[in-house]
Amino acid sequence: MGRKAARDALFQLIYEYNVRMEEDDFTLSLMEQGMTDDDLEYFESCYRGIISAREEIMGYIEKYSSGFAVDRIYKVDLAILQVAIYEILYRDDVPHSVSANEATELAKKYSTDKSYSFVNGVLASVIKEVENVG
């Protein structure tokens, strides 16, 4: 399947979580079909991790979404940001620039024409903070 496809599936599952506000193990098991062991590890650990670290991740989104109330951000963009910020904060195997680039591509694919620049701007600020602290 590949990491890009696993990330796409993860984004979709997080989007569903944001809408329903509950985990869906059935959808999780459906999306896992055809994934390699490496992709499964990434997919499952990120899914559980994003849910566990939701407050921290949402804090970053709120901090850097300049002028946008979090509850007014498109749910698609919110899910994309959650995946990317989780990767930036917790995944040493994903370079920050890759997280930002892949998030921008997801926004171009699934969201509005202006969403990718919003997503990219938020992530650039998160990366700058994380790299300056590290």
How many structural domains compose the chain?
A: 1
**CATH no. for residue 22?**
1.10.940.10
Place of tokens 């390699």: 36
Three-state SS for the chain is CCHHHHHHHHHHHHHHHHHHCCCCHHHHHHHCCCCCHHHHHHHHHHHHHHHHCHHHHHHHHHHHCCCCCHHHCCHHHHHHHHHHHHHHHHCCCCCHHHHHHHHHHHHHHHCCCCHHHHHHHHHHHHHHHHHHHC
Average pLDDT for the chain: 91
Identity (one letter) of the amino acid at 19?
V
Predicted local distance difference test score (pLDDT) of residue 130 = 92
pLDDT grade, residue 86 (50/70/90)? very high
Predicted local distance difference test score (pLDDT) of residue 133 = 75
Domain that holds residue 47: 3-133
CA 82/CA 50 separation, integer angstroms: 7
The angle subtended at Cα 122 by Cα 55 and Cα 117, nearest 5°, is 140
Q: Does the predicted model carry a pTM greater than 0.75?
A: yes
Predicted local distance difference test score (pLDDT) of residue 134 = 58
